[in-house]
A and B are shown apart, each in its own frame.
Chain A
Amino acid sequence: MSRTGFMEHPREPRHKRPVVARVGDYREVYISHPLTTLRTQAARCMDCAVPFCHQGCPLGNLIPEWNELVHDGEWEQAITRLHLTNNFPEFTGTLCPAPCEPACVLAINSDAVTIKDIELSIIDRAFEEGWVRAQPPGSRTGKRVAVVGSGPAGLAAAQQLNRAGHRVTVYEKADRAGGLLRYGIPDFKMEKHRLERRLALLEAEGIVFECNYEIGRTISAEELRRSFDAVMLCVGAERGRDVHTPGRSLPGVHLAMDYLVQQNRRVTGEAVPAAGAISAAGRRVVIIGGGDTAADCLGNAHREGCASVEVLSVYPEPPQTRPAGNPWPEWPLVLQTYPAHEEGGRRQYGVMVTGFQGSERVETIETVECEVHRAGSRRDFTPRPGSEGLMPADLVLLAIGFDGVASASLVESLGARLTDSGAIAVDADFCAAPGVFASGDATRGASLIVWAIAEGRQAAAACDRYLAALPKS
């Protein structure tokens, strides 16, 4: 392949639909590139002898290899190479923050290859061409594994274990499978049909899904353990972080996830009971928190037709360019701007919320400007006296992070334990207790889809080794 493409073509990421058009619906924001553009974009890859992108990708995707295949028009080969390391490229291709890209060698002194776009185009093309087919295992081992949780970690682990020939049942407490892919992530980032298509394939491969089935309630964890040769816990990090600020209990102050789940149901056309419904329509919305969840709330609020949105973060505004001590190929600690930010709303930094006021519902919030001090790994916030203020608010969404696994008793009843930060403690083989494995947000704390898939795969491999060593049943 021509390795001078980077000198000839500038980086051209996928285009976005215009803001006015996209806030009118919930469809995906990005539009696919035509094939010719994809090929020239792939031609920018230098096929590095030391591909830092491949190191930057938690899955170890063989990026230079499929870049070259795309450039050569070898799409079917490309999906084979891509599926080799990544079970669900359509999830990462749409949702991954792409740590591979800032690690790309081109990013040292120019613009990275559009790796994520190329990844998505490979899987999109593969589905169009019918190259992605269920791959049921050739033979069965007779071993049975229960996977608890159907987020990306659970799905990846289930697929790997099933392909190794084990009988896999996935238990999901929600009414439908997908984890945060279904009830967290909005359609404008990834439309649900991508998830449905993948779930159908998994079922076709022989994986059994049991929804509305909460382990620890529907059946006990001990019973589950007894009925299966191994258990894989992929229960996510669902414990939403809350505040204990005065006025927290006022109606109109909610955890972000409660809002996002409802929104996802509405968009899919499911009924949401009027009692307890959360809506941003016509309201002055304040979102507290500066991360991905906050951005997803922001995008939803605009699509619902809110009156205004303020996004408040206690942290100072991140710089536009890499700060000292954060060089290539590290993940850049700079201001991230998502499509949702382009759609409106105002971001404020260094602002702390000290109280919620209102009679029947929340009407106003109390704020104060603050400074951050690093104390070891902890950060302390000191309010700046005299900077107190009030801000009108009809809906407040708390998107300030997650505190680990929701149910400690589930974990403990399986003989496993939680770490101080609320994650399931595992060894290097993702083993939490004999025959009990865990992966994804449940072990990492709230993280990313790409990590969930990567860990799901690794944990599955370890679980497979465990099963292979068991006496033949």
Chain B
Amino acid sequence: MSLATSLGAGGNLLEQGPAQAKRLEVPTPILSNADLETIRHVTQRQFPAVTISTTFHSDGGVRALEEGLERICRLASEKIREGYTVLVLSDRHVDANHAPIPALLATAAVHHHLVREHTRSGVGMVIETGEAREVMHIALLVGFGAETVNPYLALETVAELLRRGLLPAGTDLARAKERYIHALYKGVRKVISKMGISTIDSYSGAQIFEAVGLAPELINRYFPGTSSRLGGIGLDVVAEETLMRHRMAFPERSVDPVSLAGGGDYQWRRDGEAHAWNPTTISLLQHAVRGGGPQSYEAFAAEVNDESRTLKTLRGLFDIKGDREPVPLDEVEPATEIVHRFCTGAMSFGAISKEMHETLAIAMNRLGAKSNTGEGGEDPERYVVDANGDNRRSAIKQVASGRFGVTANYLVNADELQIKIAQGAKPGEGGQLPGNKVDEVIARLRYSTPGVGLISPPPHHDIYSIEDLAQLIHDLKMANPEARISVKLVSEVGVGTVAAGVAKARAEHIVIAGYDGGTGASPLSSVKHAGVPWELGLSETQQVLVAQGLRSRVVLQVDGQLKTGRDVLVGAMLGADEFGFSTAPLIASGCVMMRVCHLNTCPVGIATHDPELRKRFAGTPEHVIAFMLFLAEDVRERMAGLGFRRFEELIGRSDLLQPRTDIEHWKARLLDLSALLHRTDAAPEETHHTLSQEHHLEDVLDQRLIELATPALERGDPVRLKLRVRNVDRTVGGMLSGAVARRYGEHGLPDDTIRIDLHGSAGGSFGAWLAPGITLSLRGEANDYVGKGLSGGRLIVSSPPNVSRAAEDNVVIGNVALYGATSGELFVNGVAGERFGVRNSGAVAIVEGVGDHACEYMTGGRVVILGRCGRNLAAGMSGGVAYVVDMDGRLHEHFNLAMVGLEELDGEDAQFLHDVITRHREYTGSLLASRMLQDWKASLGGFVKVMPNELRRVLSLKARLDVPA
């Protein structure tokens, strides 16, 4: 992916001629000063550039700002007419009498002005600004129309750092600036790719942002088309804020010596930006659960709820106004019942230590509430109840895009299976676990190699549409019919529509995660700028689901920095049945918000695997339980005060929330909360969860398989079955595998105990989660997702006897086979579609040809490809091995060599290949296999071995350290 863009007149899109090609290519949207000067002067003749100063008179207030904007728009038009093809908007000429027009405002204003005039494609826009310094700033400027940005003040700051000797000795200035630009470049690239966009030209002007707190007039005039649901400040406030900063820079007189304030944007500072978790709230909560009792909890809750001074959350902007008489506290449903609505958030064992993870599970199980595995599997030893009755099993098992450790056994040991579509703190990004946190245990649970970093792919490779999601929901339901299926979405504009689709796809539970959840391991640009508060997403979801009559079929959960009973109540009134908590229970257990979760140096033993640091963990299940009970009591007391006995009566009662009338803050008081509080008319049972989804599991093929396999399931006796399969039979073998796993655990039954011969066309997810001891042999063909999550069983697909083409030319299985397979075998006598073996972490597979992107993101297992290969083989592959026959000597062209290298085969490889190809011939009758075995020496010579660089690095390190691999 490259961010190269071009400047100059674009001309008519529909014509094709040399004039179109006359463009100045700029390799990056971030320009150095020299680059800018080149554009300004050197290329003048071909690409005439003109600079427009974007400042306004500092004593003219909002009028001056408005006139300034009009002036730059007018100038832009004039200059285009005069023949300039590059506009440089510059705020360099700031002085005591001139303040800068905020760069984003100037950019969007000119961009939209030119779009309206139909002249925008006639020029390139370069923004020369002192304001831009972070990734988000560049992304915004480009997203609102700029082609490139010159962050001159940031570059000067780099020079200053060097001058003061704050950069490593020996750094040279040019290199330092280059690095800064490169860092911004990579950050912007990440932002763009998160949004699923792959060229800067598609991102430029795409405006994929949601504004929070800007008035409609401001939006319509300067940022048309941008969503801004809460109204807010107008141009006058923008002017005032700009002038406040200007006055700070050019003060009448100074009190303190000139040194900048700490700021405290990323780290808490006493006089800096307010943070919800600060020394006071952290220590009050910790005291409360460590013997401080209800009084300390109340002090904590009061501190958090007292948003009137700090206005940190949207919920701080409403009052709760009851419409009933209070009821006695003892008539309100008990805390022990309310806590059933609570769960802890998805934090993987990997992100947090074993001790912390198990503490949460024990606490939540004792309460009859739920904890969440997070993505990354779970140690099966935790499925066994401890001698003292404690249960370390996480009730919620997450299924994320990486599918780490998602086996049949994992799925059956769950009360809820949660498909993580996105994570609140980093929507559009997969989880990442740096190599230094992947120790032996984590690698075992994730079926990967210790020391090798793990990246979850951004998308689920089996979800490209709502139908795909419905398929995955079905797959999971098949594996574990008792578990409810949850889908986790992130709060952003449009989430309501997505949620409606999810409800129709038969999810039973939907999580709306706010933007502020998430660990210290999330990228800062995501922590700060991705997603919106849960209040917005939840209220939108509730409104859409109620309007479409879908609300009663799903449980709606909200998640994202919930801390107090008041937060829970507001959540319920905006539509939530259930509530997720992540940071608060960690704080209760001793977390002090170091935000070093990714560094493995957490000093309180929570987000670390360092054995020494883990010894410092001092949290107990009692701490977490105390917090949950305080919270539930807080909820009860408030319910009693409002006159509610049953919690469900509160759900969706947004009419009880009223915008506060006492807000005096000069900006906050401009917000309009009516869209947030809108309530769709509906019967009470239509506004919260009352019905169950219909899954039609009674008549799936697997019910028969289970019935016929009873001798094997009950006694381990071998069973042979022969059946016909049709393409309406989805997830064949999934429910049977669940049944095996439930009885026989991780290791399942002995090899081939249940052997099922099928013929016909299998529907989606054939052989999903297939457990050890089951062999599914299909003569015919299968749809997408064959062997999804293969968990130790054997899958055989052979070309039907009646096809005329040779098997190696015949596509017999669809796309995305073996996604997330952890062990087992797949033999394909024919060609597979795209993404064969994606995220395989342990299965052995042999296939006679594949489409594009085979072996993508693989972390383990072995894949043998006997025939034709598509493009982009082995992209993102960090583990496992692939053996590929080089048909025409040009195989290297098919590889994505970013992460892998090619190697010679050794004796062990030859042995393995001979064995697996022999079995392939035996199981499928493959003619290709027999031909190869006939002249084995020659066949072997045709193979190339694909080895991930990371794996090679770790293996050679191990060899050197003399540790058995």
Interface residues of A (CB under 8 A from B): 3-4, 6-7, 46-52, 54-56, 60, 62, 64-65, 72, 74, 77, 80-81, 83-84, 103, 105-106, 108-110, 135, 138-139, 141, 160, 163-165, 324-325, 327-330, 461, 464
Interface readout for B250-272 with A: 1 if CB under 8 Å, 0 if not?
00011111010010001111110
Q: In the assembled complex, how far is the CB of residue B347 from the closest CB belonging to chain A, in whole angstroms? A: 17
In the bound complex, do residue B257 and residue A50 qualify as a contact, i.e. CB atoms below 8 Å apart?
Answer: no
Q: A46-B596, A50-B594, A328-B283 are in contact. List 18 more A-B contacts (CB 8 A).
A: A3-B601, A48-B592, A49-B520, A50-B282, A51-B267, A52-B283, A54-B268, A62-B269, A74-B165, A84-B257, A108-B590, A109-B604, A109-B618, A135-B257, A164-B254, A165-B253, A324-B291, A327-B286
Q: Which chain B residues border A46 with CB–CB below 8 Å? A: 594, 596, 601, 603
In the bound complex, do residue B257 and residue A49 qualify as a contact, i.e. CB atoms below 8 Å apart?
Answer: no
In the bound complex, do residue B593 and residue A49 qualify as a contact, i.e. CB atoms below 8 Å apart?
Answer: yes
Q: Which chain B residues border A135 with CB–CB below 8 Å? A: 257
Cα–Cα, bound, A54→B280 (Å):
12
Cα–Cα, bound, A43→B292 (Å):
34
In the bound complex, do residue B259 and residue A84 qualify as a contact, i.e. CB atoms below 8 Å apart?
Answer: yes
* Interface check B612, CB cutoff 8 A: yes
Q: In the assembled complex, how far is the CB of residue A228 from the closest CB belonging to chain B, in whole angstroms? A: 19
Q: Which chain A residues border B603 with CB–CB below 8 Å? A: 6, 46, 105-106, 108-110
* Interface check B750, CB cutoff 8 A: no
Cα–Cα, bound, A4→B593 (Å):
16
* Interface check B949, CB cutoff 8 A: no
Q: Which chain A residues border B601 with CB–CB below 8 Å? A: 3-4, 7, 46
Cα–Cα, bound, A65→B601 (Å):
19
Q: Which chain A residues border B678 with CB–CB below 8 Å? A: none
Interface of A is mostly: loop
Interface residues of B (CB under 8 A from A): 164-166, 253-257, 259, 262, 266-271, 275, 277-280, 282-283, 286-287, 290-292, 520, 590, 592-596, 599, 601, 603-604, 610, 612-613, 616, 618
Q: In the assembled complex, how far is the CB of residue B883 from the closest CB belonging to chain A, in whole angstroms? A: 42
Q: Which chain B residues border A327 with CB–CB below 8 Å? A: 283, 286-287, 290, 292
Cα–Cα, bound, A156→B82 (Å):
62
Contact partner, A329, options B255, B283, B595, Cβ 8 Å: B283
Given that A46-B596, A108-B604, A109-B603 are contacting pairs, would A55 and B257 also be in contact in the complex, using a CB cutoff of 8 Å? no
Q: In the assembled complex, how far is the CB of residue A19 from the closest CB belonging to chain B, in whole angstroms? A: 35
Q: Which chain A residues border B596 with CB–CB below 8 Å? A: 3, 46, 49
Contact partner, A55, options B266, B270, B604, B612, Cβ 8 Å: B270
In the bound complex, do residue B270 and residue A50 qualify as a contact, i.e. CB atoms below 8 Å apart?
Answer: no
* 28 A-B residue pairs with CB within 8 Å: A3-B596, A3-B599, A3-B601, A6-B603, A48-B592, A49-B593, A50-B593, A51-B267, A54-B270, A55-B270, A55-B278, A60-B269, A60-B271, A62-B262, A62-B269, A72-B166, A105-B594, A105-B603, A109-B618, A138-B253, A160-B255, A163-B257, A165-B253, A324-B291, A327-B283, A327-B292, A330-B283, A461-B255
Q: Which chain A residues border B594 with CB–CB below 8 Å? A: 46, 48-50, 105
Instruction: From B255, B257, B287, B292, name the one whose CB has the most chain A CB atoms within 10 angstroms.
Output: B255
Cα–Cα, bound, A50→B268 (Å):
5
In the bound complex, do residue B255 and residue A464 qualify as a contact, i.e. CB atoms below 8 Å apart?
Answer: yes
In the bound complex, do residue A65 and residue B604 qualify as a contact, i.e. CB atoms below 8 Å apart?
Answer: no
Residue of A nearest to B256 (CB): A84
Q: In the assembled complex, how far is the CB of residue B269 from the closest CB belonging to chain A, in whole angstroms? A: 7
Cα–Cα, bound, A329→B285 (Å):
12
Q: In the assembled complex, how far is the CB of residue A193 from the closest CB belonging to chain B, in whole angstroms? A: 24
In the bound complex, do residue A50 and residue B275 qualify as a contact, i.e. CB atoms below 8 Å apart?
Answer: yes
Cα–Cα, bound, A271→B259 (Å):
45
Q: Which chain B residues border A64 with CB–CB below 8 Å? A: 267
Q: In the assembled complex, how far is the CB of residue A48 from the closest CB belonging to chain B, in whole angstroms? A: 6
Contact partner, A49, options B268, B287, B590, B610, Cβ 8 Å: B268
Q: Which chain A residues border B618 with CB–CB below 8 Å? A: 108-109
Cα–Cα, bound, A24→B604 (Å):
45
Q: Which chain B residues border A105 with CB–CB below 8 Å? A: 592, 594, 603
Cα–Cα, bound, A103→B279 (Å):
9
In the bound complex, do residue A164 and residue B255 qualify as a contact, i.e. CB atoms below 8 Å apart?
Answer: yes
Q: Which chain B residues border A80 with CB–CB below 8 Å? A: 257, 259
In the bound complex, do residue B255 and residue A77 qualify as a contact, i.e. CB atoms below 8 Å apart?
Answer: no
Q: In the assembled complex, how far is the CB of residue A341 from the closest CB belonging to chain B, in whole angstroms? A: 30
Q: In the assembled complex, how far is the CB of residue A462 from the closest CB belonging to chain B, in whole angstroms? A: 12
In the bound complex, do residue B270 and residue A60 qualify as a contact, i.e. CB atoms below 8 Å apart?
Answer: yes
Q: In the assembled complex, how far is the CB of residue B893 from the closest CB belonging to chain A, in whole angstroms? A: 45
Q: Which chain B residues border A83 with CB–CB below 8 Å? A: 257
Cα–Cα, bound, A236→B604 (Å):
42
In the bound complex, do residue A81 and residue B279 qualify as a contact, i.e. CB atoms below 8 Å apart?
Answer: no
In the bound complex, do residue B255 and residue A51 qualify as a contact, i.e. CB atoms below 8 Å apart?
Answer: no
In the bound complex, do residue B255 and residue A49 qualify as a contact, i.e. CB atoms below 8 Å apart?
Answer: no
Cα–Cα, bound, A274→B255 (Å):
48
Q: Which chain A residues border B286 with CB–CB below 8 Å? A: 327
Q: Which chain B residues border A7 with CB–CB below 8 Å? A: 601, 610, 612-613
Residue of A nearest to B592 (CB): A105
Q: Which chain A residues border B268 with CB–CB below 8 Å? A: 49-51, 54
Cα–Cα, bound, A55→B613 (Å):
25
Q: In the assembled complex, how far is the CB of residue B247 from the closest CB belonging to chain A, in whole angstroms? A: 14
Q: Name the 9 nearest CB pairs between A and B, nearest first.
A: A49-B595, A55-B279, A60-B270, A50-B593, A109-B616, A50-B268, A164-B255, A49-B267, A52-B279
Q: Which chain A residues border B269 with CB–CB below 8 Å? A: 54, 60, 62
Cα–Cα, bound, A109→B605 (Å):
10
Q: In the assembled complex, how far is the CB of residue A437 from the closest CB belonging to chain B, in whole angstroms? A: 15
Cα–Cα, bound, A293→B739 (Å):
77
Cα–Cα, bound, A3→B596 (Å):
9
Q: Which chain B residues border A103 with CB–CB below 8 Å? A: 279
Q: Which chain A residues border B253 with CB–CB below 8 Å? A: 138-139, 141, 164-165
Contact partner, B279, options A50, A77, A139, Cβ 8 Å: A50
In the bound complex, do residue B292 and residue A325 qualify as a contact, i.e. CB atoms below 8 Å apart?
Answer: yes
Cα–Cα, bound, A50→B280 (Å):
10
Cα–Cα, bound, A172→B259 (Å):
32
Residue of A nearest to B591 (CB): A50
In the bound complex, do residue A329 and residue B279 qualify as a contact, i.e. CB atoms below 8 Å apart?
Answer: yes
Q: In the assembled complex, how far is the CB of residue B604 from the closest CB belonging to chain A, in whole angstroms? A: 6
Cα–Cα, bound, A108→B283 (Å):
11
In the bound complex, do residue B278 and residue A50 qualify as a contact, i.e. CB atoms below 8 Å apart?
Answer: yes
Q: In the assembled complex, how far is the CB of residue A409 from the closest CB belonging to chain B, in whole angstroms? A: 33
Cα–Cα, bound, A330→B279 (Å):
11
Cα–Cα, bound, A56→B268 (Å):
13
Q: Which chain A residues border B267 with CB–CB below 8 Å? A: 47-51, 64
In the bound complex, do residue B592 and residue A77 qualify as a contact, i.e. CB atoms below 8 Å apart?
Answer: no
Q: Which chain B residues border A77 with CB–CB below 8 Å? A: 164, 166
Cα–Cα, bound, A105→B604 (Å):
9
Q: Which chain B residues border A328 with CB–CB below 8 Å? A: 283
Residue of A nearest to B271 (CB): A60
In the bound complex, do residue B257 and residue A52 qualify as a contact, i.e. CB atoms below 8 Å apart?
Answer: no
Instruction: From A49, A54, A163, A461, name the one whose CB has the most chain B CB atoms within 10 angstroms.
Output: A49
Cα–Cα, bound, A365→B616 (Å):
50
Q: In the assembled complex, how far is the CB of residue B164 from the closest CB belonging to chain A, in whole angstroms? A: 7
Residue of A nearest to B277 (CB): A50
Q: Which chain A residues border B257 with CB–CB below 8 Å? A: 80, 83-84, 135, 163
Cα–Cα, bound, A340→B255 (Å):
40
Q: In the assembled complex, how far is the CB of residue A441 from the closest CB belonging to chain B, in whole angstroms? A: 23
Given that A3-B601, A49-B520 are contacting pairs, would A325 and B291 also be in contact in the complex, using a CB cutoff of 8 Å? yes
Q: In the assembled complex, how far is the CB of residue A64 from the closest CB belonging to chain B, in whole angstroms? A: 7
Instruction: From A6, A103, A135, A328, name the one whose CB has the most chain B CB atoms within 10 angstroms.
Output: A328
Residue of B nearest to A52 (CB): B279
Residue of A nearest to B593 (CB): A50
Instruction: From B262, B604, B616, B618, name the one whose CB has the most chain A CB atoms within 10 angstroms.
Output: B262
Cα–Cα, bound, A160→B28 (Å):
48
Q: Which chain B residues border A160 with CB–CB below 8 Å? A: 255
Q: Which chain B residues border A62 with CB–CB below 8 Å? A: 262, 269
Q: In the assembled complex, how far is the CB of residue B302 from the closest CB belonging to chain A, in whole angstroms? A: 18
Cα–Cα, bound, A56→B280 (Å):
10
Cα–Cα, bound, A377→B292 (Å):
19
Cα–Cα, bound, A50→B292 (Å):
22
